[in-house]
Amino acid sequence: MSFTQTLKTAALLLSLSAGVAFAAELPGNVKSIQATSSQGQISVLWAPVTGAVSYRVYYSHESILGNGGNYDDFDQTAGAQTIFNFKSMPLQSEKIYIGILAVDKDGNESEGFETEAMVETSTSMISSVSSSEASSVASSEASESSESSSESMPSGENPTSTAVPMSIESVQAVTETGVLVTFTKDVSSDAIVNAGYFLITTVSGTVLPASNTAISGKTVLITTAPQSPDTEYVLGLLSPIPAADGTNATPSEPQVRFTTPAKAEPNQPAQPGQSYGKNPSLPGANPPTGYGQRPPQAPLNPSNLGLSAVLRKDGTYNVIARWVASPNAASYSLYTSKNGSPYSWNSAVHNETTVQYSGIAPGQFGIKVASRTNNVESSGIDKVIDLPASGIGLLGVAAVAGAGAVGRRKKKVV
């Protein structure tokens, strides 16, 4: 072997070893994404990823997960913050799908998209104004503003400053299922602030489901699922919280971290005491178990379950399931069936309404989704998809979809 060949071989080995190292050092996938649209702006909030120094916010006019990772474009955060605001609509589309990839200090991205968020927006609200029209409107408004100011403001007085926006002062876990958020101002008494206005996750990205809220002055008490003791959580806003003075705390408000108390030592058992009151041997002394309590009610089923599939190079499929959330479910139980076999329990998710199963062999594949609250489960909804052995059927659909997406780019879906 010549010296040149030796160098080439060494370079190849270094390249392969670098590739293995690169794969091992990729930042983790983003596990949870929430997005809201309000007054021509989109706010996106997601769970943090350990080691990320920034994030890339990908967007598309159609599902990124359901189209093999295809997307239209992306923006990048300036730092490791896990909130991003589009100042204007990034696409002229009634629905915008958003996926997030973490970026580490070496510029490596997450392996691929694991979840996505979808926001609906009215394209009629997105308008384009020419520079001449904008100048005319601005000039007119400035003139009206000047006349109004000269009439209402006494001579010699300085104009009043803009009111300081409301912000989060503190967040505290007050009970095992209660999180108290304190703002710098009184929350508007007319405001409707439900649990969907907040996103609470662990630092690793697991969502803590929330169900109810109660407002009192500057505080909002959020009722959550049982919290893990001695655990750090992150709270962020998904929608503006109106203050009594007309200002708001907005989704651009920095996220706040809080830690739950450690688990208390169990109390010592009570010492037996002297019998007192009604003789327990008499009829009616002890009410039957469950006396006066209503049996737990099953949550409502989710709706609109849809299945799609992407053919893999090895001849198997990635199957994506999406459904519309139940209004009173704390989590969802997932069941699967292969080629007509009975459904068997597979896994559970909390706030997610999109899941993906990878490496599914050709044949019939069924998925059943049931809502779950307080250990009571709904009857569930199910759907079956046919996965051709040759992949021709789905490949034809994919080819048609690809032809309509010329110029779009693609990232891996995991």
Q: pLDDT tens digit string along 150-169? A: 333 333 334 333 578 999 99
- Same-domain pairing of 110 and 189: no
Decide: pTM greater than 0.85.
Answer: no
Does the pLDDT of residue 276 top 50, yes or no? Answer: no
- Same-domain pairing of 118 and 174: no
For range 360-367, the mean pLDDT: 93
- Same-domain pairing of 310 and 403: yes
- Same-domain pairing of 253 and 340: no
- Same-domain pairing of 398 and 307: yes
Domain annotation covers residue 18: no
Domain annotation covers residue 265: no
H-helix or E-strand containing 365?
A: strand 363-373
The confidence band for 404, taking pLDDT boundaries of 50, 70 and 90, is very low
The total of structural domains in the chain comes to: 3
User: What number of residues does the chain have?
Assistant: 414
List the domain range (segments joined by +) for residue 30.
Answer: 23-124
Domain annotation covers residue 2: no
For range 37-63, the mean pLDDT: 86
**CATH code at position 56:** 2.60.40.10
Distance between CA atoms of 22 and 14, rounded to whole angstroms?
Answer: 12
**Over the chain, what is the mean pLDDT?**
75
Q: pLDDT tens digit string along 88-129? A: 888 888 899 999 999 998 888 998 898 999 988 764 333 333
Distances from the Cα of 329 to the Cαs of 224, 332, 400, in angstroms?
12, 7, 37
Other CB atoms within 10 A of residue 71 CB: 23
Do residues 58 and 74 lie in contact, with contact meaning Cβ atoms separated by under 8 Å? Answer: yes
- Same-domain pairing of 119 and 27: yes
Q: Considering only residues 298 and 319, tell me which one the structure prediction assigns the higher pLDDT.
A: 319
Q: Considering only residues 374 and 9, tell me which one the structure prediction assigns the higher pLDDT.
A: 374
Query: The tokens of 213 are what?
Result: 């809220």
- Same-domain pairing of 99 and 30: yes
Cβ burial of 61 (10 Å; 0-12, 13-18, 19+) is: middle
H-helix or E-strand containing 72?
A: none
Distance between CA atoms of 344 and 321, rounded to whole angstroms?
Answer: 16
Q: pLDDT tens digit string along 118-130? A: 988 764 333 333 3
- Same-domain pairing of 307 and 397: yes
Strands, sheet with 303-311, edge to edge from the N-terminal-most edge strand: 303-311, 317-324, 354-360
Domain annotation covers residue 234: yes
For range 265-274, the mean pLDDT: 47
Most confident of 16-25, 283-292, 298-307, 386-395: 298-307
The confidence band for 309, taking pLDDT boundaries of 50, 70 and 90, is confident
Does the pLDDT of residue 337 top 90, yes or no? Answer: yes
